[in-house]
């Protein structure tokens, strides 16, 4: 019986079948694409090509510090527009060689590249091989979404063809090189050059330009910060392509690859200045509007000092971390603000320990009890009414009636009593009872008036407890008040922005520093001398080593809930606050001297290497005399005993006589306002 056997297939790879498949696929693709293009071009919805000619993307506004160094940027996309003429030819050629070698020959679409891509897609069995020209990439970025669909691809082809008819090749490259994303948040070659090399694109070498051009295909995969080996391999590919297409000879390409690359370290200053920069951004957005801020390439000249800001951030964050570790708790917060007393310019501001976790700016927005840091205001008020540094005040028990059935009995932190002591000692040792008696004597309204003159605008309770800092204030207010003392009684108006210019260099606003003679220069100087004693012999003595010229005051509230230190020099006043956002005790013995003062001292120890360390100038109405602070009596002529202290003219005590205008201590009388 005969059998019909199937013919035997010839051995070997079926090239003919493959050719037929590829040919058929290509034919159907071409026909389908052609039909789709015709129909889409006739009936599809397209954005106007003219908008590309009026290219106006979101741009980067730059923030400068007080020394005119760039310290921050405001952007939706980090982009700095640069004219095509400013981009070196070797940078342009690097992108063309790597992304679209036929760019200057095709009309927007490279059909040879498309055919090559189709073949590779068929062989791989997936839609993976790209064939987009620089023109196609440009229209996709400007007008289309990144989705991978046939309809989107056809629109891309049509738009590429249309834009080539409207714009020159150079104009298309201008759009492409300013629009393309190149990693690390950088859009366009200028932003990329600044990001990776801290220089403008016009300064880039062949090697650097090739590295940046290599990022166009996959910015994350070829990131030189994360994957330097992959970035270098991609750079080599770009240089080889530049050689192959005739932009670079082979030896030059090899030399460029061997050239040493020095990447700029990523800047972390923005995180250290986040609260300051965000305050500036919010102000600009509120005043000029969102669209103007992101489209006008503003140049914002601020008061921030880059070095002082870094010092402040490091001191505060390290200090808070130290306290948390020592006390085995977390969630502690802090704030620090530094001001130039002469102008009111805010030189540094840290509104919290972690901007990413909390954008609440405690330096400007948190009203917390200042504790004894408020006492210098009370003493300044007393000096304004005729008291001297050696006027006597009684540090002994006192009580006041809150009501018919309730008494208020203030006490000293150490629960001891020193009896009659001079104002100089009372403030230096932060004696509560002496301060309450002093406030009771001069009147609560006198102290509140002094606080208002010094720039404190927060509500202040009209009672004697304000002597101990019971009314909440912000760090900005406290620094402004102390800056008034440092500036000889001239209250500065705090400001953050010196000048704002638009993209054309037109000045939109400029701040002229303003000061008001808020208190007498002599009163301010005497208050400074009181606060110098705090650092020499009082609660701030641990910072004595820094300089004999510095002045400041500690502040601790009930149950060690808030810790403050505010003080500084004629050129710089800094305030530190530490506490929990929801008030809670910092722990036993966690006073301002052990919590806030070390942070302030850490900062000022570094700052004094940068700002002048000089004496506070004495005004014309001040004279100096040697006195015995314990008795308030002037020393006899020629005596070396006692201390040389400043006095207002006409208030120097007589030899052997009392100083100033001593008043007998009173119990529960006067302004008993509780």
What sign for the dihedral angle of Cα 301, 307, 308, 313?
Answer: positive
Q: Both ends of the chain: CA-CA distance in Å? A: 125
Burial class (CB in 10 A: 0-12, 13-18, 19+), 120: middle
Residue 543 sits at the vertex; the CA angle it makes with 550 and 606, to the nearest 5 degrees, is: 75
Query: CA Rg, the chain, in Å?
Result: 36
Q: Spell out where 396-451 has E strands.
A: 400-401, 407-408, 419-422
Helices 228-244 and 250-258 pack at an angle, to 10 degrees, of 170
Contact criterion met (CB below 8 Å) for 315 and 324: no
Contact criterion met (CB below 8 Å) for 519 and 380: yes
C-alpha 375/C-alpha 397 separation (Å) is 18
* Percent composition of the chain: helix, strand, coil (DSSP 3-state, to 5): 45, 15, 40
C-alpha 495/C-alpha 512 separation (Å) is 10
C-alpha 409/C-alpha 630 separation (Å) is 26
C-alpha 105/C-alpha 124 separation (Å) is 29
Element (H, E) at 211: helix 206-213
Q: Which residues are catalytic?
A: 99, 372
C-alpha 34/C-alpha 21 separation (Å) is 19
């Amino acid at each position: 019986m005969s059998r019909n056997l199937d013919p035997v297939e010839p051995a070997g790879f079926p090239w003919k079948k493959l050719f037929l498949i590829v040919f058929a696929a290509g034919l159907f693709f071409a026909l389908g694409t052609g039909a789709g293009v015709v129909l889409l071009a006739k009936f599809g919805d397209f954005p106007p090509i003219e908008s590309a000619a009026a290219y106006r993307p979101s741009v980067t506004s730059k923030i400068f510090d007080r020394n005119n160094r760039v310290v921050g940027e405001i952007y939706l996309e980090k982009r700095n527009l640069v004219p095509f003429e400013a981009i070196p030819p070797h940078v342009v050629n690097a992108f063309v060689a790597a992304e679209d070698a036929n760019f200057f020959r095709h009309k927007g679409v490279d059909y040879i590249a498309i055919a090559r891509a189709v073949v590779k897609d068929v062989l791989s069995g997936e839609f993976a091989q790209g064939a987009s020209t620089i023109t196609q990439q440009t229209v996709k970025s400007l007008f289309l979404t990144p989705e991978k669909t046939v309809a989107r691809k056809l629109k891309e082809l049509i738009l590429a063809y249309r834009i080539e008819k409207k714009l020159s090749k150079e104009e298309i490259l201008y759009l492409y090189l300013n629009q393309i994303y190149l990693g690390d948040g950088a859009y366009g070659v200028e932003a990329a050059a600044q990001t990776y090399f801290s220089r403008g694109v016009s300064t880039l070498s062949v090697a650097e330009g090739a590295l940046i051009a290599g990022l166009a295909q996959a910015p994350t995969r070829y990131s030189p910060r994360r994957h330097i080996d992959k970035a270098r391999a991609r750079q080599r590919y770009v240089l080889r392509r530049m050689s192959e297409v005739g932009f670079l000879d082979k030896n030059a390409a090899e030399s460029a690859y061997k050239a040493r690359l020095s990447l700029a370290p990523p800047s972390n200053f923005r995180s250290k200045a986040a609260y300051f920069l965000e305050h500036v951004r919010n102000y600009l957005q509120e005043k000029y509007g969102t669209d103007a801020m992101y489209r006008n390439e503003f140049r914002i000249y601020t008061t921030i000092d880059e070095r002082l800001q870094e010092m402040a951030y490091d001191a505060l964050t390290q200090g808070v971390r130290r306290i948390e570790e020592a006390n085995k708790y977390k969630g502690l917060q802090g704030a620090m603000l530094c001001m130039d007393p002469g102008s009111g310019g805010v030189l540094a501001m840290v509104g919290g320990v972690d901007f990413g976790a909390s954008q609440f700016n405690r330096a400007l927005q948190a009203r917390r009890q200042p504790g004894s840091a408020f006492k210098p205001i009370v003493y300044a008020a007393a000096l304004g009414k005729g008291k001297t540094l050696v006027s006597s005040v009684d540090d002994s028990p006192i009580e006041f009636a809150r009501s018919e059935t309730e008494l208020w009995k203030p006490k000293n932190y150490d629960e001891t009593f020193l009896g009659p002591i001079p104002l100089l000692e009372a403030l230096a040792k932060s004696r509560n009872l002496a301060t309450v008696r002093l406030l009771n004597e001069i009147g609560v309204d006198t102290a509140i008036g002094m606080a208002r003159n010094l720039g404190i605008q927060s509500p202040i309770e009209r009672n004697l407890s304000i002597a101990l800092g019971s009314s909440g204030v912000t760090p900005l207010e406290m620094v402004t008040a102390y800056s008034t003392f440092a500036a000889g009684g001239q209250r500065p108006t705090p400001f953050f922005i010196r000048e704002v210019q638009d993209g054309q260099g037109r000045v939109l606003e400029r701040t002229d520093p303003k000061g008001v003679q808020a208190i007498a220069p002599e009163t301010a100087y005497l208050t400074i001398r009181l606060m110098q004693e705090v650092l020499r012999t009082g609660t701030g003595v641990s910072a004595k080593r820094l300089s004999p010229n510095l002045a400041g005051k500690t502040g601790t509230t009930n149950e060690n809930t808030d810790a403050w230190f505010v003080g500084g020099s004629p050129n710089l006043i800094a305030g530190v606050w530490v506490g929990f956002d929801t008030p809670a005790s910092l722990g036993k013995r966690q006073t301002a001297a052990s919590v806030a003062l070390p942070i302030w001292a850490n900062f000022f120890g570094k700052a004094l290497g940068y700002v002048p360390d000089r004496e506070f100038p004495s005004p014309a109405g001040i004279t100096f005399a040697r006195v015995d602070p314990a008795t308030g009596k002037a020393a006899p002529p020629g005596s070396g005993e006692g201390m040389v202290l400043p006095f207002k003219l006409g208030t120097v005590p007589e030899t052997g006589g009392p100083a100033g205008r001593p008043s007998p201590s009173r119990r529960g009388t006067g302004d008993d306002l509780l």
